[in-house]
Amino acid sequence: MLSYMIKRIAMAVPTVLIVTLLVFGMMRAIPGDPASLMLGDVNDPALLAQLRHQFGLDRSVPEQFVLWVTHLAHGDLGMSIVRHQPVAELIRTTFPVTAEIVLSATLLASLIAIPAGLFAAWSQNRRADPAIVLTSILLVSLPSFWVGILLMWLFGVKLQWLPTFGFESFSEVGWGTVRYLVLPVIAVALGEIAVLTRMMRASSLEVLRLEYISHARAKGLSEPRVLLRHALPNAFGPALTVVGLILGHLLAGGAVIETVFTLPGMGRLLVESIYARDYPVVQACLLVIALLYVLVNLVVDLLYPVFDPRMKL
């Protein structure tokens, strides 16, 4: 068990290194350097040279990388060219918004999809199963940004129950923040419910066919008990991996839903910075999201043995 954990953590190290290298390389591949972009139309070679020196752009590329990583390790993500604020500060203020959406949507999706998938598998070859499968195909075909706009129209414009834009964070208004989150969370959760239901159905089908389930039934256990006590824990393992993927998917998809509802999250920051060619911010957002994704997958893999005791052997 311990050796599995150490091995898995060790596997993440080269991934983190290469992800960092890739993000750095991607930003270096953009034509034009940040210093000349920052100056815009100002034609002042002396100032340009000074800025280039300040950013370390006059050094060799490997040196620049080492410098960048050293700064990263100190929590220094550089300065935003457009907003003239430390990038770390920008990330700190926008990240909680994204996190609130991603976590609530994942929780909502799990609460609905896990029972639904288990139930669909249990009722295989009966009416309910094709209905659930069909619903999940329908849901997975609805783009979150479309659902978001329709929800905004219905509940924001027509019924005027919920705000259509803007945001007040949890720290400002407490649970009042829920008003701003309901629609975005539903919009992104629908598709994920579909994906997770299908995965949960598939893994439950595998489990329900096994002998220990027949044995549990032969013992005279009630169906709910067979499902919840015996089938669910073993079927949950593979679904957990999908929960990890969903978290990552939503982190990246945040850009889209935050744009629909003009929420001040990290995805919106990323998109606006791409428009504004604010490369230090783009670089930092890409890196933070990718590293979070690596971390989530690491945690999921480390949790795996908890749900699948066979892994401990």
Partner 1 sequence: MKLRSFKRFNLTIGTVLVGLLVVTALLGLVYTPYDPTDVDLVTRYAAPGIHHWLGTDEFGRDVLSRIMAGAAVSLTVSIGSVLFALSFGTALGTVSGYVGGWLDRLVLVLVDALMAFPGLLLALGIMTVLGPSKWSVVLALGLAYTPSVTRLARGGTLSLRSRDFVVASQAMGNSGVWTLCRHVLPNCVAPLLIFSTSLFGSALLAESALSFLGLGVPPPAPTWGGMLADSRNAIDRAIWLAIFPGMSISLALLGINMLGDAVRDLLDPRMNGGAK
Nearest to 114 by CA among 132, 131, 95, 127: 132
Stretch that binds partner 1, among 75-83, 87-95, 232-240, 275-283 (CB under 8 A): 275-283
Stretch that binds partner 1, among 65-73, 139-147, 226-234, 300-308 (CB under 8 A): 139-147
Q: What SS3 state is found at 248?
A: helix
Q: What SS3 state is found at 82?
A: coil
Stretch that binds partner 1, among 46-54, 73-81, 94-102, 250-258 (CB under 8 A): 250-258
Q: Does 72 bind partner 1 (CB under 8 A)?
A: no
Q: What SS3 state is found at 107?
A: helix
Q: Residue 137, class by beta-carbon neighbours within 10 Å (0-12 exposed, 13-18 middle, 19+ buried)? A: exposed
Q: Which of 84, 125, 310, 313 binds partner 1 (CB under 8 A)?
A: 125
- Do residues 75 and 287 touch, judged by C-beta distance below 8 A? no
- The mark string for 77-116 relative to partner 1 (x by CB under 8 A, - otherwise) is ----------------------------------------
Q: Name the residue with tokens 């930092």.
A: 284
Q: CB neighbours of 201 closer than 8 A, spacing ≥ 6?
A: 117, 118, 120, 121, 129, 132, 133
- The mark string for 14-53 relative to partner 1 (x by CB under 8 A, - otherwise) is xx--xx--xx--xx-xx-----------------------
The residue among 47 and 61 lying less far from partner 1, judged by its C-beta, is 61
Nearest to 79 by CA among 47, 46, 105, 56: 56
Binding site for partner 1 (CB under 8 A): 14-15, 18-19, 22-23, 26-27, 29-30, 124-125, 127, 129-131, 133-134, 137-138, 140-143, 145-146, 149-150, 152-153, 157, 164, 202, 205, 209, 248-249, 251-253, 255-256, 259-260, 270-271, 274-275, 279, 282, 286, 289-290, 293-294, 297
